[in-house]
């Protein structure tokens, strides 16, 4: 998109908009004015890879004359990492020179980007609308206090839950309910179907064709005895052909027969080859599951396992939490490293990223370690962008 935007210098004035830049498609526009001795850039439309440099040029022009700069994002429709990189670089520069960059009226998405990348630490946040009408409910309640005033903003830890989750639990549960419905409809002898899954360290029924089946699963979890528990724990098939002759699970057998169940087939569900649950199919008829039914159950179990593997359900809450923190921290360091390189080498975000990539490849060092090196080098005289083979990662 050629937007024809040019950077304009803002002139001093009070309360008057003095400069406007916009693209011919009306998707991106910046209005610059000076209010109460602060330069205010009001951004409208979308900031992406194409027009982020224009925003950067306008910020540069304003920063030359003003140490207190406000970026008003109330009319911003969209901004991606390109825009954020431009803002990050200018915010760091202003901060080093004793100035401040204030982000006014950021959307929930922009707030999230600011926090993930660590930019929130170098800007002030200002939200003049006490109703915070355009924030989603979860963000609105979680960060309400932090948004008042212009204090540096730190995202409350629990808001981090909305980021870096491999797959949404609701989506996984929806897929599992579909599996249950399909198995119930296609396995001829099935009178009831359920999926058991280990969550928060305990087995639970996350999808069931009816309440009776769900109750029967629950009694197995409570006693620790039954085909669905064994399949979930041992990662093997368990087939109770006829409960009349079943001896492996006496408590389960009595309970199931009382509910009219006479056969059961539990297939293990695996995520990354580890047992995480079971697909359970029950029938009122003894000896109900023919080889074809068993084969179908196996197909459903394998496909369900693929869903669970992709969703990362084998990751425990603790592991997920730790990994999420590490990921956010690494991204923060990356943003800082990019900022350092952009400043030192006078390059834009993409070029800074590419230099980091090259550094990582030449030194055979993981990217995150390279970013840490760059950030740490701000404490030392110089970061060497042309490393020798001295950091061999593979030994």
Q: Mask 216-255, x = binds another protein (CB under 8 A)?
A: ----------------------------------------
Kindly tell me which residue out of 49, 132, 177, 344 binds another protein, with binding defined by CB under 8 A. Answer: 49
Helices 317-345 and 108-117, axial angle in degrees (round to 10): 80
User: Is 387 an interacting residue with respect to another protein (CB under 8 A)?
Assistant: no
Kindly tell me which residue out of 134, 234, 236, 361 binds another protein, with binding defined by CB under 8 A. Answer: 361
Query: Of 86-94, 220-228, 238-246, 321-329, which part binds another protein (CB under 8 A)?
Result: 321-329
Q: Which is nearer to another protein, 111 or 281 (CB)?
A: 111
Q: Which single residue is written with the structure tokens 């990751």?
A: 315
Residues in the chain: 395
User: Is 154 an interacting residue with respect to another protein (CB under 8 A)?
Assistant: no
Q: How many C-beta neighbours within 10 Å does residue 171 have?
A: 11
Kindly report the CA angle at 341 between 338 and 343, in degrees rounded to 5? 110
Q: CB 51 → another protein: shortest distance, Å?
A: 14
Kindly tell me which residue out of 33, 56, 81, 277 binds another protein, with binding defined by CB under 8 A. Answer: 81
Kindly tell me which residue out of 24, 26, 149, 166 binds another protein, with binding defined by CB under 8 A. Answer: 166
Q: Which is nearer to another protein, 149 or 166 (CB)?
A: 166
Kindly tell me which residue out of 259, 330, 343, 391 binds another protein, with binding defined by CB under 8 A. Answer: 330
Query: Of 39-47, 164-172, 246-254, 377-385, which part binds another protein (CB under 8 A)?
Result: 164-172
User: Is 57 an interacting residue with respect to another protein (CB under 8 A)?
Assistant: no
User: Is 360 an interacting residue with respect to another protein (CB under 8 A)?
Assistant: yes
User: Is 199 an interacting residue with respect to another protein (CB under 8 A)?
Assistant: no
User: Is 321 an interacting residue with respect to another protein (CB under 8 A)?
Assistant: no
Phi-psi region of 185 (alpha: psi -120 to 50; beta: other; left: phi over 0): alpha
User: Is 167 an interacting residue with respect to another protein (CB under 8 A)?
Assistant: yes
Q: CB 24 → another protein: shortest distance, Å?
A: 21
Total residues contacting another protein by CB under 8 A comes to 32
User: Is 327 an interacting residue with respect to another protein (CB under 8 A)?
Assistant: yes
Q: CB 390 → another protein: shortest distance, Å?
A: 17
- Is the distance from CB of 283 to CB of 262 less than 8 angstroms? yes
Rounded CA gap, 353 and 215, in Å?
Answer: 54
Beta carbons within 8 Å of 282's beta carbon, 6+ residues apart: 190, 191, 192, 193, 194, 213, 216, 256, 261, 263, 264, 265
User: Is 372 an interacting residue with respect to another protein (CB under 8 A)?
Assistant: no
Kindly tell me which residue out of 218, 368, 387, 391 binds another protein, with binding defined by CB under 8 A. Answer: 368
User: Is 294 an interacting residue with respect to another protein (CB under 8 A)?
Assistant: no
User: Is 339 an interacting residue with respect to another protein (CB under 8 A)?
Assistant: no
Q: Which is nearer to another protein, 241 or 350 (CB)?
A: 350
Q: CB 81 → another protein: shortest distance, Å?
A: 4
Q: Which is nearer to another protein, 302 or 330 (CB)?
A: 330
User: Is 353 an interacting residue with respect to another protein (CB under 8 A)?
Assistant: yes
Q: CB 366 → another protein: shortest distance, Å?
A: 6
Kindly tell me which residue out of 272, 317, 345, 384 binds another protein, with binding defined by CB under 8 A. Answer: 272
Q: Which single residue is written with the structure tokens 């699963």?
A: 217
Q: CB 393 → another protein: shortest distance, Å?
A: 6
For another protein, the binding residues (CB under 8 A) are 48-49, 80-81, 164, 166-167, 272, 309-312, 323, 326-327, 330-331, 334-335, 338, 350, 353-354, 357, 360-361, 364, 366-368, 393-394
């Amino acid at each position: 998109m050629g937007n024809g935007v040019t950077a304009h210098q803002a002139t001093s004035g009070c309360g008057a908009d003095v400069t406007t830049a916009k693209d011919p498609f009306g998707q991106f526009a910046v209005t610059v004015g000076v209010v109460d001795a602060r330069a205010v850039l009001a951004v409208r439309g979308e900031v992406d890879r194409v027009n982020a440099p224009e925003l950067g040029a306008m910020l540069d022009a304003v920063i030359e004359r003003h140490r207190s700069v406000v970026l008003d994002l109330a009319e911003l429709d969209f901004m991606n990492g390109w825009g954020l990189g431009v803002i990050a670089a200018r915010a760091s520069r202003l901060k080093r020179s004793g100035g401040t960059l204030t982000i006014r009226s950021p959307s929930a998405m922009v707030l999230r980007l600011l926090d993930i990348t660590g930019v929130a630490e170098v800007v002030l946040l200002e939200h003049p609308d006490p109703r915070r009408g355009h924030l989603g409910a979860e963000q609105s309640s979680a960060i309400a206090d932090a948004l008042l005033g212009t204090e540096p903003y730190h995202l409350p830890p629990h808001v981090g839950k909305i980021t870096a989750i491999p797959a949404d639990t609701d989506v996984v549960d929806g897929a599992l309910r579909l599996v249950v419905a399909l198995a119930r409809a296609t396995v001829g002898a099935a009178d009831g179907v359920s999926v058991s899954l280990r969550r928060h360290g305990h087995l639970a029924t996350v999808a069931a064709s009816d309440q009776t089946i769900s109750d029967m699963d629950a009694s197995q979890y409570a006693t620790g005895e039954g085909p669905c528990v064994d399949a979930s724990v041992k990662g093997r098939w368990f087939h109770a052909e006829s409960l009349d002759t079943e001896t492996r699970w006496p408590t389960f057998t009595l309970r199931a027969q009382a509910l009219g169940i006479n056969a059961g087939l539990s297939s293990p569900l695996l995520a990354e080859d580890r047992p995480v649950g079971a697909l359970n199919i029950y029938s009122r008829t003894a000896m109900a599951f023919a080889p074809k039914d068993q084969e179908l159950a196996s197909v459903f179990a394998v496909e369900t396992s693929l869903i669970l593997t992709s969703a990362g359900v084998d990751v425990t809450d603790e592991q997920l939490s730790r990994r999420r923190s590490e990921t956010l921290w690494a991204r923060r360091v990356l943003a800082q490293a990019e900022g350092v390189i952009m400043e030192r080498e006078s390059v834009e975000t993409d070029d800074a990223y590419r230099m980091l990539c090259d550094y990582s490849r030449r030194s055979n060092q993981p990217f995150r370690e390279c970013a840490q090196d760059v950030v740490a080098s701000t404490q030392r005289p110089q970061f060497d962008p042309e490393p020798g083979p001295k950091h061999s990662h593979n030994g």
